[in-house]
Structure 1
Amino acid sequence: MVLSSARRSTTRCLWRCSKKMTNHIMQGIHHDGSAVYVSNPLPKLGETVELRLRVPQDAGVLRVFIRSTPDGEEHWEAMEKAESDQVSDFWVGSLKITMPVNPYCFKLISENGGYYYNALGLFPHDMPDVYKFKLLANWDAPEWVLGSVFYQIFPDRFCNGDPSLNPKDGEWSYKGKAVKLRQWGEPPLPWTESGSLDFYGGDLVGIQQKLDYLQELGVNAIYLNPIFKSLSNHRYNIDDFFQVDEHLGGNEALVALSDAMHARDMRIVLDLTPNHTSNTHPWFTAAQKDPNAETADFYTFYNRPDDYLAWLDVPTLPKLNYSSQKLRNWMYRNDDSVMRYWLKAPYNIDGWRLDVYNMTAKQGALQLSKSVGQEMRQAVKAEKPEAYLFGEHFFDGTPHLQGDELDATMNYRGFNIPLWHWLAGYDNGTEWRPETVDHRHLSSEALVGQLKQFAAVIPWVITRQQFNQLCSHDTTRILNIVKGDKALVKLGVAMLMTYPGVPCVYYGDEIGMPGGKDPDNRRTMPWDEAEWDHDLLTFYKRIIRLRRTAPALIEGGLQHLYAQGGLWVFLRESKAQRLVIVGYRGDDTLNDVMIPLRHGGIADGTELVDLLGNMSACVEQGGVRIHTIKHGDAFIFELH
């Protein structure tokens, strides 16, 4: 076969990089927070855990030490070489869990000098503590999320189960617009035309009616956009935190849905707006009228009644002021507070998604987010220790992921956005500022660099429960992001389902629903199967089933093995299973590709079987040869 010059160049580059990585044997040093390398990833205070470090036999490492800092003072623990296999030596040492957060790193003394190894990698010099591995003591981890695949539903647009609940044309007005009931399947109206008052009649009854469909898809948890009483279709302007909107079926419909889901061993998470209320919420209207009202200090008024602090200056969304202790009591401290109320019977929800968490309890000089976040966690976990608490954060949410606030964030910067950028040259899914979008493809090297940077600064037990998506109600849909390229959609889904974290499917993505920026991304779910992409749906079902049954994907650690151009390879490893995931988003077809694997502790003679296809291969000379890799290909190799 005669290769094009571009293909010859790519092939030569792969061979050169493979040789370079083989020479860099120190890249085979590995540790993560999984049970393969930590005897108990969820230790109790006072417990001693055993740490393991994998080191290539030919790395020339002479001594290894665990470096920790109990109560701020340096402590060194010598490790011993405990066992070896064909490729690696395993060094073992102990770490005493003395603090709520226990940071540590390794120091290796080799024939070529000393190296520090932390969650970011191997360095010939010391590094800031922020990059150290971290073990959390007494961490209330919602372990059920590790085996979960979520499905996000925008309630008004999923299924109309009871037309008698539908809003009626002109039933109310808001912001100068009147309610309009649209026909199912009609495109959503622009905000400027509808004022977010175009309704389609989706309700909780309809969601319950479609549980069979969701179980057949394979998902076992649902995240619902807001369902509380509100005047808009998105319901982020809440009028009553204790009342499910009557047009969704009211509180009784939530009880029925929750009961039906739990009977199927499914979980349900609701969406809350702790940052703001609507301007028609009784808390606000009372405060607006009377400076001595019980809720007067829940908001920040500059000059009553109409000059007040609002979210991004949107007057219909007045911002809550958490310097008010009573607000804290009502929102989460009291036994009958908002956040506790819905966790209890008869509703029994399984967690909260907190809207606009990046701005909650922040207003100029008044920065209370840390204390409020800590108190929210304490209240939620006191009510239901296994509840899942995650927050919306489009930016760097890692300060809130240190073990004393959130279980997770919507992992936009640590997964979603870099994946879009890698797949499609698209790094701004909201399109709010299109002039800021970078349309160049992110290289695989840069992709892995961003993923590692965001994961390295948080504990592993939090990394594995980060909330990962390809798109959401706030972003352009994945099919539009990749400009209709279904091969890239499948590749994105494969990476979503195999990368550490809790994967979530946005309703309709599994059948190929398109959608541009909000509100076009909130179209109605088509229930005429003739409109579905059945090939894509079959792919979703298959890979969701794999995500929920493969031990390495449920509880395995992570090691990035290869990143070059459009090719990305990583290892997921548990005690029961090892998987090598290969993804390629390049336009050219690659031929005769040698992917280095020895630095993943993978010995020659290991057989690789692709769980997505019929291909198998054998590791030789430290790597695996794949004869052809096409645009959008994904391989999930199980090691035998």
Structure 2
Amino acid sequence: MPEITDLNNDMQTSAILDEQTSAPGDLPLPAIQARLKLQRGQFRHDNILVPVIPVPGQSIEIWATTGMDATLACATLFYTTDGRQPDTSAMTVAMERVHTDWDVQAGYLARWRAIIPGQPAHTLVRYRIGGWSSSMPDARSQTPDVWAQDGQGFWFRYTGDHAITTFGFTVDEPAPLFPTWAQEAVVYQIFLDRYRTSAPGGFTRDASQRAFHGGTLQGVREALPYLSELGVTCLWLSPIHPADTYDRYGATDFYAIDPRLGTSDDLKALTEQAHALGMRVLLDFVPSHLSMNHAAFRAAQQDQNAPSFDWFTFYEWPHRYRNFLEVVPALASFNTASQAARDYIINAALLWMHDYGIDGFRLDHAIGQSMDFWAAFRKATREVAPDVISIGEVTDTPDSIARYAGKLDGILDFPLATALRHTFALGDWTVQTFEHFLQAYEQFLSHGPGRVSFLDNHDMNRFLFLARNDRSRLKMAALCQFTLEAIPVVYYGTEIGMSQAADIDNMTDGGDAQARADMIWDQERWDHDLLAFYRALIWARSDYPVLRQGKRQMVHLDAARNTYAYVRTHTTGPEWMKGDVFAIFNVSKQQQGIPLAGASTSMSYLPLITSGEQPQVQVTADGIQVVLGAMSGALLVAQ
């Protein structure tokens, strides 16, 4: 087995895996504490670059850390700009020990810095940081005593040859985080096996929760008129590759389509028809791991001289190997320090873009790969299509999330999903807690990657289940989601009121299959009021660019009454302008009057959308007040 810390006893590992695979997205506190404490004995580089996204010609600061039990005399950064793996023959920059900090978990920490000279646009810089315990004059001509390791994600647990020690970034021209089409997108997540079969009317038979239910690409094509009427502009398809399980997150061939889903012609027809309707298509892609029945892994298990042997990390060949979260042997993890493994993954992504018209990727378990890999993946895909997007499932702390800027275009916004669920579904956050979170979080990630928001997904309890099937809570949460900056995602069926019978933690009732039920196509079972509400939200997001691009400012907050409002505005001044949109919430069980600070009585305020009774807009001696019914929200536009 690899060298892994004592953190991984059975109880702690179980807690960590529960958090990492089912939301909220942050690592649990014991893992965070262990990550901090382990700095005491490690030479660490946690992908801290200044600036996070270097522009052409700009020098880049690279920071590393040594703890009290990992004392070094000197350190050197080795880097390449031609795509080669950096080693001791690469270009060098001396690391300077700049200062010492103290941390409550790790004690005294020495901070090291190197400055890489500015590089031309689109340069891929790869680097390693070597350290020596001796300060002999010729030390830098020798193999380092230790290489700085990545301490983020799942990787802080590993040391030595099993750690990530190669890092990377690209130099980009200044540009928005997302291309225009993505900034304007409303994404619809489709879990293919459970969305729609090719049979008339969708699903026609019951099946066990863990079985293949028969959803197809043709079924999605038949649903395109419904999706077009809903107004979504981007489809996120769950994995399409042949696999052993219905979710297809363990592929047996990255270059093929599961015959159960259809053919290559079906995928081409789907992307072409979606494009004709103004929809982009994202593919759920899994670069972290593959099925143990994949031919490359089987070959590596049978022969240590197999070409694919170094694609994987064997602790004791052939049966002890790195796998998904170290608890799922059926999913063997890639070792993308192997150039051949890296080529296999990236070339597959390029194939789906070039041959099938895929517009971007949702990247599963993004913390399972190095920043060096993601920089290379993003550069390669952008060279095929400059407006392609890469969105990572990054389940980590906000400081680590921020460091994905420039390596991925965006991240799935787990912290925001957590806040929305606590505030509107569970009701254990007040609106004050929520607003304080938003202010801090939005500022903290203002220089991070783009964000993609959601209320629920295939790994989480559905929102309505958490809200005890109270649709008023779902409507308020969706109204908030669609009026924040992050690109919104709608999980299939949420728009028609799909819920579930049991918690996903209850394995006797199917576990996460509870959140992956067959899409309901019998319209008599739809909540048509909720569907109309979602259509209105999507329309408003499209018709009012200020909801995507405007500045957000709180205009009302009353924690005692649990009422709250903010404006998305074109200005930074105290007076609002025509076209500004106000989002107003009454998360209480009685009607409330909500004053809007700064709203001018010389303008009118037109209700665009309401989740309950029609709001009453009143002019008072103090300005504008909006009367909202209990447990409801509304959008108003200034005119």
TM bin, normalised by shorter chain, reads 0.5 to 0.7
* Displacement of 1:594: 2.7
* Displacement of 1:279: 0.3
1:234 aligns to 2:239 (yes or no): no
Match of 2:185, as an amino acid? S
Contact 2:366 2:393 in 1 (8 A): yes
The match for 2:519 among 505, 513, 525 is 525
Contact 1:611 1:635 in 2 (8 A): yes
CA distance in 1, matches of 2:244, 2:305: 27
* Displacement of 1:621: 5.9
CA RMSD of aligned residues (A): 2.9
* Match of residue 349 from structure 1: 358
* Match of residue 154 from structure 1: 191
Structure 1, unpaired ranges of 5+:
1-41, 48-96, 101-134, 167-182, 190-195, 362-368, 426-439
1:271 aligns to 2:308 (yes or no): no
Match of 1:156, as an amino acid? D
* Match of residue 628 from structure 2: 629
CA distance in 2, matches of 1:398, 1:374: 18
Larger CA deviation: 272-281 vs 612-621 = 612-621
* Match of residue 35 from structure 1: none
Contact 1:605 1:619 in 2 (8 A): no
Contact 1:510 1:540 in 2 (8 A): yes
Matched residue SS, 1:277: strand
Structure 2, unpaired ranges of 5+:
1-52, 59-117, 122-171, 505-511, 572-577
Match of 1:347, as an amino acid? Y
Alignment size in residue pairs? 456
* Displacement of 1:620: 5.6
Deviation string 1:276-306 (CA, Å, 9 cap, x unpaired) is 1110111211111111111111111111221
* Displacement of 1:373: 1.8
* Displacement of 1:612: 1.6
CA distance in 2, matches of 1:202, 1:570: 41
* Match of residue 452 from structure 1: 439
Q: 1:256 to 1:568 in 2, by over 3 A?
A: same
* Displacement of 1:606: 3.1
Q: 1:157 to 1:247 in 2, by over 3 A?
A: same
Q: 1:477 to 1:547 in 2, by over 3 A?
A: same
* Displacement of 1:256: 0.9
Mapping of residues 174-253 of structure 1, within 5 Å: 184=204, 186=206, 188-189=208-209, 196=210, 198-253=211-266
TM-score with structure 2 length normalisation? 0.67
Matched residue SS, 2:636: strand
CA distance in 2, matches of 1:339, 1:400: 23
CA distance in 2, matches of 1:295, 1:634: 56
Match of 2:408, as an amino acid? L
Q: 1:510 to 1:540 in 2, by over 3 A?
A: same
Match of 2:624, as an amino acid? V
The match for 1:574 among 570, 574, 591 is 570
* Match of residue 536 from structure 1: 530
- Percent identity, aligned pairs only, is 28
Contact 1:160 1:205 in 2 (8 A): yes
* Match of residue 611 from structure 1: 608
Deviation string 1:477-506 (CA, Å, 9 cap, x unpaired) is 111111011111111111121111111111
Deviation string 1:112-161 (CA, Å, 9 cap, x unpaired) is xxxxxxxxxxxxxxxxxxxxxxx982456322012211111110111111
Match of 1:503, as an amino acid? P
* Displacement of 1:619: 6.2
CA distance in 2, matches of 1:188, 1:407: 38
CA distance in 2, matches of 1:306, 1:634: 56
* Displacement of 1:319: 1.0
Deviation string 1:162-212 (CA, Å, 9 cap, x unpaired) is 59xx9xxxxxxxxxxxxxxxx7463753xxxxxx3x121110000001100
TM-score with structure 1 length normalisation? 0.67
1:514 aligns to 2:499 (yes or no): yes
Matched residue SS, 2:198: coil
Matched residue SS, 1:328: helix
CA distance in 2, matches of 1:327, 1:421: 41
Match of 2:491, as an amino acid? Y
Deviation string 1:50-97 (CA, Å, 9 cap, x unpaired) is xxxxxxxxxxxxxxxxxxxxxxxxxxxxxxxxxxxxxxxxxxxxxxx9
Contact 2:556 2:595 in 1 (8 A): no
* Match of residue 343 from structure 2: 329
Matched residue SS, 1:483: coil
Contact 1:469 1:504 in 2 (8 A): yes
Contact 1:277 1:319 in 2 (8 A): yes
Contact 1:401 1:408 in 2 (8 A): no
CA distance in 2, matches of 1:376, 1:43: 17
Contact 1:275 1:355 in 2 (8 A): yes
CA distance in 1, matches of 2:459, 2:619: 43
The match for 1:486 among 454, 471, 476 is 471
* Displacement of 1:622: 5.9
Q: 1:387 to 1:323 in 2, by over 3 A?
A: same
1:305 aligns to 2:304 (yes or no): no
CA distance in 2, matches of 1:491, 1:224: 27
CA distance in 1, matches of 2:181, 2:251: 29
* Displacement of 1:376: 1.6
CA distance in 2, matches of 1:630, 1:618: 14
Contact 2:187 2:234 in 1 (8 A): yes
CA distance in 2, matches of 1:98, 1:328: 24
CA distance in 1, matches of 2:317, 2:55: 51
Matched residue SS, 1:318: strand
CA distance in 1, matches of 2:470, 2:528: 16
Q: 1:408 to 1:620 in 2, by over 3 A?
A: farther
CA distance in 2, matches of 1:247, 1:162: 13
Match of 1:326, as an amino acid? A
* Displacement of 1:586: 2.1
CA distance in 2, matches of 1:188, 1:604: 60
CA distance in 1, matches of 2:591, 2:460: 30
CA distance in 1, matches of 2:448, 2:314: 41
Mapping of residues 539-554 of structure 1, within 5 Å: 539-554=533-548
The match for 2:591 among 583, 586, 589 is 589
The match for 2:455 among 446, 470, 476 is 470
Q: 1:324 to 1:542 in 2, by over 3 A?
A: same
